[in-house]
Amino acid sequence: MSKIGVFPASGGLGGSTINHLSKLVPASQLILIARKPEKLVDFEKAGSTVRHADYDKPETLENAFEGVDVLMLISYASFEIEHRIKVHRIAIDAAVASGVKHIFYSSLAFAGLTNHSVAHVMGAHLQTEAYLSSLTDKITYTAVREGIYSESYPIYTNWFNPSNPGSEITIPHDGSGPGVAWVKRDDLGEATARLVVSYTKNPTEFKYTNEKVILSGQKSYSLAETVEILGRVVGRDLKIREISVDEYAKLEHYGRHTYHGINLAREWATAWDAIRRGETDVVTPDIREILGREPEDYEVTIRGSIG
């Protein structure tokens, strides 16, 4: 029975993934690794192995993956590039040294099915994918390009607050298409878990070995349509007012774009360039096939999250 490791086994996607894995395989098959392992006490009581490791403390990664056959590696939570690449490589090298056979890596659905993106947030993902592809003499891998979370709409709508909605959203985009194939985060967690289990059951027949897979929503919404839905849910007539990147970078973002003391608001604005170019407009049937059902519609998710 292949041992499945998840790191970090916490946060939004990691937490969702392990919750679904726990329904699909025996608890004893799971090795859950997190910066705060005390949050995983219920899984440990159920029979899973729980360990401590932290991307920002490389020494903790050295033996974190011992006994793991298949690793779900959740990307470092930021959108800077160099630090993310560095810690991803340290984790991957530690996994290889520990004998991990296959790595699932949580990438992002910017770039569509290509290996190019204008979105700064995609930079570290593309380079991590490239690093994994350079190691196929030692391991196999799957780059899971997780679709843009439906619940992440605030990032793309200048921190729209349903509790204090206002009447306009100021972003460096006019709202016209192409758009975003939004997808519920928990649907991504379930699909990711099912992908991992599918590999462990029959690795020779797994169709995404050394490949990428996009888990997208089943419909793309322009940003204007996205904002219209938000307005409908909160009962306000919302509109987009396009501003320049310079204007956006000067807005007060309350530290949300600051990483390691550096303001990356201008770099984040490249996400709207990527949307404009159609990078997030790609819809594939993969998540529907993996789940065996349609993923939840964007408006349903928004109503549930704001509700």
CA angle centred on 157, ends 214 and 236, rounded to 5° = 120
Residues 103 and 164 in one domain: no
State the CATH number of the domain containing residue 55.
3.40.50.720
pLDDT, residue 260, reads 79
- Strand pairing report for 168-171 and 239-242: parallel
Domain stop point among 215, 231, 261: 215
Residues 94 and 172 in one domain: no
Residues 46 and 191 in one domain: yes
Residues 199 and 253 in one domain: no
How far apart CA 65 and CA 283 sit, in angstroms, is 34
Residues 224 and 203 in one domain: no
State the CATH number of the domain containing residue 263.
3.90.25
* 291 within domain boundaries: no
* 286 within domain boundaries: no
DSSP class of 265: H
Q: Which two tokens stand for residue 200?
A: 């462990």
* 62 within domain boundaries: yes
- Tell me, letter by letter, the H, E, C secondary structure of 196-215: HHHHHHCHHHCCCCCEEEEE
* 199 within domain boundaries: yes
pLDDT, residue 307, reads 65
How far apart CA 226 and CA 221 sit, in angstroms, is 6
Task: Report residue 186 CA to chain centroid gap.
Answer: 11
**Of residues 183, 158, 186, 189, the one with CA closest to residue 171:** 158
**Whole-model pTM?**
0.96
Classify each residue of 198-216 as buried b or exposed e, where b means 16 or more C-beta atoms within 10 Å of its C-beta. Answer: bbbeeeeebebeeebbbbb
Residues 211 and 222 in one domain: no
* 83 within domain boundaries: yes
Q: Going by C-beta distance under 8 Å and a sequence separation of 6 or more, which residues neighbour residue 289?
A: none
Residues 193 and 301 in one domain: no
pLDDT, residue 254, reads 81
* 292 within domain boundaries: no
Residues 248 and 190 in one domain: no
The tens-digit pLDDT sequence of the chain (307 residues) is 899 999 999 889 999 999 999 999 999 999 999 999 999 999 999 999 999 999 999 999 999 999 999 999 999 998 889 999 999 999 999 999 999 999 999 999 999 999 999 999 999 999 999 999 999 999 999 999 999 999 999 999 999 999 999 899 999 999 998 999 999 999 999 999 999 999 999 999 999 999 999 999 999 999 999 999 999 999 999 999 999 999 999 998 888 888 878 889 999 999 999 999 999 999 999 999 999 999 999 999 999 998 6
pLDDT, residue 176, reads 97
Residues 160 and 112 in one domain: no
Q: Where are the beta strands (DSSP E) in 37-139?
A: 49-52, 70-74, 102-108
Secondary structure element (H or E) that encloses residue 297, with its range: none
* 265 within domain boundaries: yes
Q: Are 181 and 244 in contact (CB under 8 A)?
A: no
* 248 within domain boundaries: yes
Residues 49 and 188 in one domain: yes
Counting the structural domains of the chain, the total is: 2
Domain residue limits at 141: 4-147+183-215
Residues 81 and 167 in one domain: no
How far apart CA 105 and CA 73 sit, in angstroms, is 5
pLDDT, residue 1, reads 85
Residues 49 and 159 in one domain: no
How far apart CA 280 and CA 216 sit, in angstroms, is 9
